[in-house]
Amino acid sequence: MLLETKGLTRIYGGLRAVDTVDYTLAKGEIHALIGPNGAGKSTFVGMVSGRIPASEGEVWFDGENVTALPAHARIQRGMAYTFQITAIYARLSLFDNVALALGQRDKAKVRAALDRVGLANRMEQIAGDLAYGHQRLLEIAMGVAQTPRLLILDEPTQGLAESEIEEFNTLIRELAGDTTILLIEHNMSVVMALADEITVLETGKILARGTPAEIHANADVQNAYLGTG
Ligand SMILES: Nc1ncnc2c1ncn2[C@@H]1O[C@H](COP(=O)(O)OP(=O)(O)OP(=O)(O)O)[C@@H](O)[C@H]1O
């Protein structure tokens, strides 16, 4: 297992936003985390990445208990994270954005990361001038530049056009060989197209886990989340 959580819990006041979650993610898998708004998805990956401290429970990464480690130490060990809200440096060039994520101005490495998302020919452009879909791809390039073992993507297709979503799906499939991917995603066609396995969260707890076909057929999930369609 690359990632494991044991009894992972986050309490806000009286609310158990993430409630005793036992979770495993195997190396090389594309895993989607779905669930209604407020189910605890962002809080869960925040605790995995170290941005949100756990109230209870443990996070294990590649056989090591990382629960007490700050986010930067988890990044050093091979985690990368892109945010729900675009987190690029709008006034800097694409090159500078990726170089900052990389921690060095290595032109070949920056080019390689931008190449993965099809933006290598725009290296000198100012990031804020890019179309929104390209900004999201830049963000993924910033994650990829760190050659992470685990890439966590929080709603990466939000705001993308249909054609851009196709490009995104292709990109994620290409990355998946080397990188394990944990994807929070509301777009069910993306989830169904990409995920090897899906975990459904509801009110902080795991409601179901299975292949896309199993989740699609699961009556509890349909009631809680997918509707009757
Ligand atoms: N900093 C906070 N303080 C208090 N409550 C919080 C905080 N962050 C999240 N919550 C609450 O925890 C619960 C889980 O929120 P979270 O953002 O993790 O859900 P989510 O599944 O990611 O939702 P969405 O799909 O809307 O992003 C919600 O009820 C939310 O209001």
Q: Consecutive sets of 10 residues in the chain, 229 residues long: mean pLDDT of each? A: 97 96 97 95 96 97 97 92 75 95 92 92 96 89 89 89 88 89 93 96 95 91 66
Domain assignment present for 127: yes
Pocket of ligand 1 (CB under 6 A): 12, 15, 17, 35, 37-43
Residues 172 and 194: beta-carbon distance below 8 Å? yes
Domain assignment present for 129: yes
Q: What are phi and psi of 34, to 5 degrees?
A: -125, 170
Distance from Cα 16 to the centre of ligand 1, integer Å: 10
Domain assignment present for 121: yes
Q: Across the strands, what pairs with 82?
A: 153
pLDDT of amino acid 83: 64
d(CA 124, CA 23): 41
Residues 122 and 129: beta-carbon distance below 8 Å? no
Distance from Cα 9 to the centre of ligand 1, integer Å: 13
Domain assignment present for 165: no
Domain assignment present for 62: no
Distance from Cα 104 to the centre of ligand 1, integer Å: 34
Domain assignment present for 22: no
The residue whose CB lies within 8 Å of the most ligand 1 atoms, and thus the one to mutate among 10, 42, 47, is 42
Structural domain including 114 reads 89-147
Indicate the number of domains in the chain. Answer: 1
pLDDT of amino acid 84: 55
Nearest CA to ligand 1 atom 14: 40
* ipTM of this predicted structure: 0.95
Domain assignment present for 113: yes
The residue whose CB lies within 8 Å of the most ligand 1 atoms, and thus the one to mutate among 18, 33, 41, 182, is 41
Domain assignment present for 104: yes
Angle between helices 132-144 and 107-116 (to 10 degrees): 130
pLDDT of amino acid 203: 94
Helices (H), the chain: 41-49, 71-76, 94-102, 107-116, 132-144, 162-175, 188-194, 212-217, 219-221
Selection from 13, 5, 1, 14 nearest residue 56 by Cα: 5
Hunting for tokens 């629960």 — which residue is that? 67
- The total number of residues written for the chain in this structure: 229
